[in-house]
Amino acid sequence: MVATPLGNLGDITRRALDILAAVDHVAAEDTRDTTRLLAHFGLVSKCFALHRHNERTGAAKLLELLSRGESVALVSDAGTPGISDPGGLVVAAARAAGHRVVPVPGPSALTAALSVAGLAETGFVFAGFLPPKSGPRRNRIQELDLAGLPMVFYEAPHRIAASLADLEAVCGGARAVVVARELTKLFEEVHRCPLAEAQAWLAADRNRQRGEFVLIVEARAEPAATARTREAETVLHLALEELPPARAAKLAAKITGGRREELYELALKLNEAKTHQTPP
Ligand code: SAM
């Protein structure tokens, strides 16, 4: 699985070039694009097509080649194959057939955008592309936002405005968004602003609506009190696995600084819920 540049050809890795030169075949999402890429580096094309619409037949061909002892590099149009790109099915099938599957890491729009987003947290939720229709899109955003982590999306130019509108509707205008566009290319832009200002920023210049986008929405701010309650509940849950409610509440209060009486009441409720659970 060989990563290729997002735009700037200087981002190809030495190992990617060595592998692309050495393999017997290259399975490519777009054979014309990959042939151009190979030609740029003075490599001959040995491409066959493996894309979303022929992933099964393409995978069968790839397995056939591997079973003959030939080597295959899989590349997508740009970035890392398998990330919102074909590749997952093939990897699973190749591994199931006993072949070694090796990552040749390199550029990805996901990591490139995250690296300049300036997030304080280390975690994030990546969900690839959002649904094309507004209703399901809003539901998806709402669902992902429950994780309380920054959310990262890929987006296409014809849906960028609508997605920003739905992100604002669900997350509120005060939340910050990072719009990372045309990364590593001539018109690269990384813009951070509150969601309330994002649509106006996009509309202010028609060129901003062109190209490829990654959107990163900062995590929702949880009121400190809610965060403390959550922590106490987590500790209580764990303590209840070993202790009766009164002692679990006492321990949780000690650890988290929460109120013992409240935690005891909660412990009783949790215990009751547990005893009413139907076994799996
Ligand atoms: N597998 C690829 C990767 O690792 O980056 C992503 C493939 S996905 C089909 C294509 C999407 O990635 C685009 O619609 C866009 O959201 C994002 N993308 C790709 N290149 C980009 C770039 N240069 N700048 C910003 N986003 C990019």
- One digit per residue, the tens of pLDDT, for the chain of length 280 reads 999 999 999 999 999 999 999 999 999 999 999 999 999 999 998 999 999 899 889 999 999 999 999 999 999 999 999 999 988 889 999 999 999 999 999 999 999 999 999 988 779 999 999 999 999 999 999 999 988 999 999 999 999 999 999 999 999 999 999 999 999 999 999 999 999 999 999 999 999 999 999 999 999 987 555 666 777 878 888 888 899 999 999 998 888 888 888 889 888 888 877 665 544 4
- If one residue of 4, 6, 104 were mutated to test the ligand 1 pocket, choosing by the most ligand atoms within 8 A of its CB, it would be 6
Q: Are residues 209 and 237 both part of a single domain?
A: no
pLDDT digits (tens, 9 = 90+) for 10-20: 999 999 999 99
Q: Are residues 133 and 187 both part of a single domain?
A: yes
Q: Are residues 70 and 52 both part of a single domain?
A: yes
- Could you give the CA distance from residue 57 to residue 60 in angstroms, rounded to a whole number? 5
Q: Are residues 233 and 199 both part of a single domain?
A: no
Q: Establish whether residue 108 lines the binding site of ligand 1, counting it when its CB lies within 6 angstroms of any ligand atom.
A: yes
Query: Is the Cβ–Cβ distance between 185 and 112 less than 8 Å?
Result: no
What CATH code is carried by the domain that includes residue 14?
3.40.1010.10
- Could you give the CA distance from residue 278 to residue 57 in angstroms, rounded to a whole number? 44
Q: Are residues 113 and 207 both part of a single domain?
A: yes
Residue 242 counted as domain residue: yes
Strands ordered across the beta sheet of 72-75: 47-49, 25-28, 72-75
Residue 222 counted as domain residue: no
Residue 246 counted as domain residue: yes
What is the CA(269)–ligand 1 centre distance, in A?
47
Q: Are residues 142 and 81 both part of a single domain?
A: no
Q: Which atom number of ligand 1 is nearest to the Cα of residue 3?
A: 4
Query: Is the Cβ–Cβ distance between 145 and 171 less than 8 Å?
Result: yes
Residue 1 counted as domain residue: no
Element (H, E) at 110: helix 109-115
Residue 279's pLDDT is what? Answer: 47
Can you list the alpha helix ranges (DSSP code H) found in 124-259?
A: 134-145, 160-171, 195-203, 224-240, 245-256
Pair of tokens at residue 144 = 């992902």
Domain boundary among 66, 96, 126: 96
Q: Are residues 203 and 185 both part of a single domain?
A: yes
The residue whose CA is least distant from atom 13 of ligand 1 is: 212
Pair of tokens at residue 269 = 């409720």
Q: Are residues 261 and 202 both part of a single domain?
A: no
Q: Establish whether residue 111 lines the binding site of ligand 1, counting it when its CB lies within 6 angstroms of any ligand atom.
A: no
Per DSSP, 45 falls in state -
- Could you give the CA distance from residue 166 to residue 74 in angstroms, rounded to a whole number? 35
Residue 82 counted as domain residue: yes
Whole-prediction pTM value?
Answer: 0.81
Residue 17 counted as domain residue: yes
Q: Are residues 81 and 26 both part of a single domain?
A: yes
Task: Say which amino acid occupies 65.
Answer: L
Q: Are residues 212 and 248 both part of a single domain?
A: no
- Could you give the CA distance from residue 7 to residue 186 in angstroms, rounded to a whole number? 9
* Domain assignment of residue 255, given as a range: 227-275
Residue 104 counted as domain residue: no
What CATH code is carried by the domain that includes residue 148?
3.30.950.10
Per-position DSSP letters for 4-38, written without gaps between them: B-SS-GGG--HHHHHHHHHSSEEEESSHHHHHHHH
Alpha-carbon Rg of the chain, whole angstroms? 24
- Could you give the CA distance from residue 179 to residue 155 in angstroms, rounded to a whole number? 10
Domain boundary among 167, 195, 217: 217
Domain boundary among 197, 217, 237: 217
Q: Are residues 87 and 166 both part of a single domain?
A: no
- Could you give the CA distance from residue 91 to residue 87 in angstroms, rounded to a whole number? 6
Pair of tokens at residue 117 = 């987003």
Element (H, E) at 126: strand 125-129
Q: Give the total number of structural domains in the chain.
A: 3
- If one residue of 34, 153, 213 were mutated to test the ligand 1 pocket, choosing by the most ligand atoms within 8 A of its CB, it would be 213
Q: Are residues 126 and 190 both part of a single domain?
A: yes
Residue 79 counted as domain residue: yes
- Could you give the CA distance from residue 132 to residue 13 in angstroms, rounded to a whole number? 34
